[in-house]
């Protein structure tokens, strides 16, 4: 079902968390609300499911205005970060709870419960209690319980935050598989850009209660609208250095480095201070613009090495390259940057 937040605002007392936010989620789409802690993404989620009353604006499910509708009637499935399973009930009872509340006939409850258990692969665990399950299994139960009543929208609040690294990888693809199989509209709240990029059709990146950019993961990575977006996506993260425009090039102060203005970017007038963003994968042996510096840090990641390159003026760039032995700590090197992959931002962080 299509979800529309129309000029939605929320404040707690005098604190305005979100103001005039408009966001549309298409039918069957999985959208990530990505942002740092305190940016208002969970507030948005709780407004959609009705736990928070909105201060202004409307929330529409399809064509129906849900703004004043109580949580119980919104039919929103929520998976909480802590899973919030009912500890005194078995897995089967947990999943069946929403159906029993709706007073479905017992045979129907059992049928739908088992169907959902099959979908999330927990058929063998139905008689257990939540305390007897691993984190990943609890997660599956929580998903099944949220999905069993065919909700209008599925909300996932940091669903992977409590899992260890290996399980996180597994559940990432599992959640996506279940979402695609059920075709349900889903919203994922996360502060982890990897989760957002790997699981979702589109990302809405938020900061300080505002949506900065909405785009597909790929588009957002390739074309960040602000320095904040560029800095949030990508691991290891992008590095920023200050430069000044002069004669159609960008001069990095006190470092004897000149970078060309990337294509599709308007050349800033001479003397304009700019911020240049360089992703670690675009700095290395290949490229067209030389950058000279000293290797100040090496991190071995197995397949790749991550280097910190300190420039003459003290700025630090990051470079990720295939693992090799020919450079080591404190070496002076001249590497190259792919100038078509540079991002140029104004002092206020807006992309140029």
Q: List helix spans (H) across the chain.
A: 41-49, 71-74, 91-101, 106-119, 135-147, 165-182, 193-199, 217-222, 227-232
Binding flag, residue 145, another protein (CB under 8 A): yes
Q: CA nearest 343: which of 214, 206, 205, 223?
A: 223
Binding flag, residue 82, another protein (CB under 8 A): yes
Least Å from the CB of residue 188 to another protein = 16
Dihedral angle computed from the Cα positions of residues 254, 326, 303 and 235, in that order, rounded to the nearest 10 degrees: 0
> Judged by CB, which is closer to another protein: 73, or 334?
73
Least Å from the CB of residue 163 to another protein = 16
Binding flag, residue 86, another protein (CB under 8 A): yes
> Judged by CB, which is closer to another protein: 72, or 247?
72
First to last CA, the chain: 37
**Stretch of 98-106, 211-219, 298-306, 325-333 lying at the interface with another protein (CB under 8 A):** 98-106
- Judged by CB under 8 A, the residue of 71, 249, 272, 313 near another protein is 71
Binding flag, residue 224, another protein (CB under 8 A): no
d(CA 31, CA 122): 26
> Judged by CB, which is closer to another protein: 33, or 45?
45
Binding flag, residue 333, another protein (CB under 8 A): no
> Judged by CB, which is closer to another protein: 132, or 170?
132
Cα distances (angstroms) measured from residue 65 to each of 2, 4, 338: 12, 9, 49
Judged by CB under 8 A, the chain residues 32 through 51 that form the site for another protein are 49-51
Least Å from the CB of residue 116 to another protein = 13
Least Å from the CB of residue 165 to another protein = 24
> Judged by CB, which is closer to another protein: 82, or 235?
82
Judged by CB under 8 A, the chain residues 100 through 139 that form the site for another protein are 101-102
Q: At what angle do helices 106-119 and 135-147 cross, to 10 degrees?
A: 130
Binding flag, residue 161, another protein (CB under 8 A): no
Residue 279 has, within 13 A of its CA and on its CB side, a CA count of 19
d(CA 60, CA 4): 5
For residue 331, the Cα-to-chain-centroid distance in whole angstroms is 36
Q: CA nearest 278: which of 330, 242, 248?
A: 242
Binding flag, residue 88, another protein (CB under 8 A): yes
* Residue length of the chain: 352
d(CA 221, CA 40): 22
- Judged by CB under 8 A, the residue of 13, 15, 63, 87 near another protein is 87
Least Å from the CB of residue 71 to another protein = 5
Contact positions vs another protein (CB under 8 A): 49-51, 71-73, 75-78, 80-88, 97-98, 101-102, 145-146, 149
């Amino acid at each position: 079902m299509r979800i529309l937040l129309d000029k939605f605002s929320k404040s707690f007392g005098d604190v305005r968390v979100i103001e005039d936010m408009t966001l549309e989620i298409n039918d069957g789409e999985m959208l990530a609300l990505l942002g740092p802690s305190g940016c208002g993404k969970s507030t948005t989620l709780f407004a959609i499911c009705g736990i928070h009353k909105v201060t202004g604006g409307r929330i529409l499910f399809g064509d129906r205005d849900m703004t004043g509708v109580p949580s119980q009637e919104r039919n929103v499935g929520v998976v909480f970060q802590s899973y919030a399973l009912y500890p005194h009930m078995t897995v089967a009872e947990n999943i069946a709870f929403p159906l029993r509340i709706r007073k479905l006939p017992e045979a129907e409850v059992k049928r739908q419960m088992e169907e959902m258990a099959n979908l999330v692969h927990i058929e063998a665990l139905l008689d257990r209690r939540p305390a007897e399950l691993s984190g990943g299994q609890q997660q599956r139960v929580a998903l099944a319980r949220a999905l069993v009543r065919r909700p209008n929208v599925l909300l996932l609040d940091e669903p992977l935050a409590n899992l260890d690294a290996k399980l996180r990888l597994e559940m990432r693809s599992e959640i996506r598989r279940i979402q695609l199989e059920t075709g349900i509209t889903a919203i994922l709240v996360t502060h982890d850009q990897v989760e957002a990029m790997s699981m979702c059709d589109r990302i809405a990146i938020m900061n300080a209660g505002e949506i900065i950019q909405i785009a597909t993961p790929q588009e957002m990575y390739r074309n960040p609208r602000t320095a904040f977006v560029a800095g949030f996506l990508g691991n290891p993260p992008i590095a920023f250095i200050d430069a000044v425009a002069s004669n159609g090039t960008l001069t990095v102060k006190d470092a004897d480095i000149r970078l060309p203005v990337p294509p599709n970017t308007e050349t800033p007038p001479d003397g304009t201070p700019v911020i240049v963003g360089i992703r670690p994968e675009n700095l290395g042996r290949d490229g067209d613009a030389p950058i000279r510096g000293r290797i100040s840090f090496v991190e071995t990641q197995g397949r790749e090495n991550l280097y910190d390159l300190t420039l003459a003026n003290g700025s630090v760039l990051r470079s990720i390259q295939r693992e090799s032995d020919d450079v080591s700590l404190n070496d002076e090197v001249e590497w190259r940057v792919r100038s078509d992959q540079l991002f140029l931002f104004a002092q206020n962080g807006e992309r140029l």
